[in-house]
Amino acid sequence: MRTSTACVACRSRRKKCIFRSNDAICTPCQEKKLKCSGPRLGAQPISRQELAAHPVTAEVQKPAIPVSLNLPTALILEIVGLYFDLIHDQFHTLFHRSSFTGEVARGTAPLPILFAMVALSARFSSNPVFKDSCLWDRSSDYARESAKLLDLTNISLSTIQACILLGTVSRSEGDAAAESVYYSVASRMANLLDLVHMPAKSAVEKEVNVRVWWTIWKLDTWSSAGVGLPRQMIERNEAPLPIEEAAFLGLRIDHDIQPGIDSSLDRRSSLFAQMIILNRILIDINDFHRFLISNKTSSNNLEHYEQTVQHLFHKLETWRSSLPPQMENTPENLHRYGNQGLGRVFVAVHLGYNHFGQLLFYQYLHECQNAASGGGAIHHYAQKCKSFSSQLCDLVDLSHLTPGCNVLYTMVGHNLVVASTIQIHTLLFSGFENEIREARGRLERNFEILLQLRNFWPVLEISFEAFRTFREACRRNMDTAFKMDAWMLRFLYGFANKMEDKQVYEIAAGGAWPVEDIGFSPSEWTD
């Protein structure tokens, strides 16, 4: 067998590796300005540790701001700032803000990342240069350029970051398949590089690696559930949780790694770490729902279902009760985090808690319709679902009234649509006028916020359409509209998926209520 002498970069890129005379760097790496590991002796395969030690990254300096961006440097920095203010840390966390902003100013930021970042956040800019462009249209050219520049043979942190950004762009456009592919590539690369243990030159680099790894793990949960595929990322017990946000933002690129320092308290106070803990519960809730719809209900497993729900609810409540006082969901803490520039991240944490709670108990909305009046656990669990929904609606509303806390990332729209269907259940089935009045008020405010979000994100059209489809199911048969089946599972988890009409039951004779009679039918929802 022929002995392989190719360097790591050429082996991973499947390129012919040529060394001239006594050169320590091969010709392809010299031409591509890549870090070369030198010739390999023997035919051993490249290990993950070796790949991580020699990531395939370019060392060449980039031009200041690429001509193809066709935007002034000051505007580029403004748009990058909007990205960090309105998107970063709420749905994903990928960068150290001051370090990356410095790279942008110096012209050394990787172009696939920069173009994708502009594609995500240019829609929020009020700069006159965009006055003639629709908010939705500001994304496509930059996203295409980012995808064109992306080199999937460059197995590196920057490629992972670009893939996550492009996956987020795909999600914002309602392209769940492309989103899943980009996240899958990021997952595979993170595992190939062993990102959590990849050698780092500074404390900033080490913490970014940790945060990106957890971001991929978190995104994989939602993306896989949305397209109905198995998760790719397996949680690793040895992976440290992220450090507290203020400590992370305060790091400088020249700070050395200090492995001996115990930062457990900082990690417990990290908003992102709390998202990770909650996401573990979401995985269990999603698995429970899949099991629920794939198994026929019988007297033998009803008790098991209830025990599972109680166990998962206990996990949620344990999370809430174990929060440090400064992280509890109170108006005072919201204002404090808002003043620190972390208000939207704080909202995202508690938005997740309430959304996961309404998901956990959602199936009881249907079951309570057929249960004996005022009876037992089923009605109690249905009220839990409505309580989580109401808290979610009120939190989003309050965030939009609190400076520095208004959440505008795409997932908010999906959470509000799910919460709105629960409020509709109250309109349809509650016998108490005060509950109906409060539900109607929340629906109207949700509608205002959803319209605002739709101005920025095309995917909100899918959210609106999903709500219309759900409402049509209510019109056909209120008694089955809330049933937990495969259609409902797709509705609850398939954020970027278009919903087909729920034609599983005939229109109930005399039992279909017109939309007007549920007390909430703005004309814009059917335009």
Res 509: pLDDT: 30
The C-alpha atoms of residue 167 and residue 165 are separated, in whole angstroms, by 5
Q: How far is CA 77 from the centre of its chain?
A: 24
Tokens matching residue 490: 């797709």
**Under 8 Å CB-to-CB from 507, ≥6 apart: which residues?**
475, 476, 477
The C-alpha atoms of residue 473 and residue 429 are separated, in whole angstroms, by 15
3-class secondary structure per residue, 460-474? HHHHHHHHHHHHHHH
Rounded mean pLDDT, 168-188 = 93
Specify burial of residue 261 (Cβ count, 10 A radius: 0-12, 13-18, 19+): exposed
Rounded mean pLDDT, 337-360 = 97
State pLDDT tens for residues 275-331. Answer: 999 999 999 999 998 888 877 655 456 677 889 999 999 999 999 999 999 999 999
State pLDDT tens for residues 256-278. Answer: 666 544 444 457 789 999 999 99
Q: What is the largest CA-CA distance in the chain?
A: 88
In 198-311, the DSSP E strands lie at: none
Res 21: pLDDT: 54
Tokens matching residue 313: 């609810």
Least confident of 129-138, 139-148, 354-363: 129-138
The C-alpha atoms of residue 210 and residue 189 are separated, in whole angstroms, by 14
The C-alpha atoms of residue 282 and residue 493 are separated, in whole angstroms, by 11
Tokens matching residue 384: 């839990």
Alpha-carbon distance values, 252 to 61, 99, 155 (Å): 21, 8, 26
pTM, full prediction: 0.82
Whether 454 and 461 have beta carbons less than 8 Å apart is answered as yes
Using DSSP, state whether 510 is helix, strand or coil. Answer: coil
The C-alpha atoms of residue 456 and residue 443 are separated, in whole angstroms, by 20
User: Tokens 């099991």, residue?
Assistant: 291
Neighbouring-strand partners of residue 105:
none
Tokens matching residue 351: 């938005």
In this predicted structure, the answer to whether residue 408 has a pLDDT above a threshold of 90 is yes
Helical spans, DSSP H, in 15-96: 27-32, 48-53, 73-86
Q: How far apart are the first and last CA of the chain?
A: 68
Q: How confident is the model at residue 492 (pLDDT cuts 50, 70, 90)?
A: confident
The C-alpha atoms of residue 33 and residue 28 are separated, in whole angstroms, by 8
In this predicted structure, the answer to whether residue 187 has a pLDDT above a threshold of 90 is yes
Highest mean pLDDT among 169-173, 346-350, 479-483: 346-350
3-class secondary structure per residue, 39-51? CCCCCCCCCHHHH
Least confident of 147-161, 340-354, 383-397, 479-493: 479-493
The C-alpha atoms of residue 25 and residue 30 are separated, in whole angstroms, by 7
Single out the residue of 113, 191, 98, 96 nearest to residue 159, CA to CA: 113
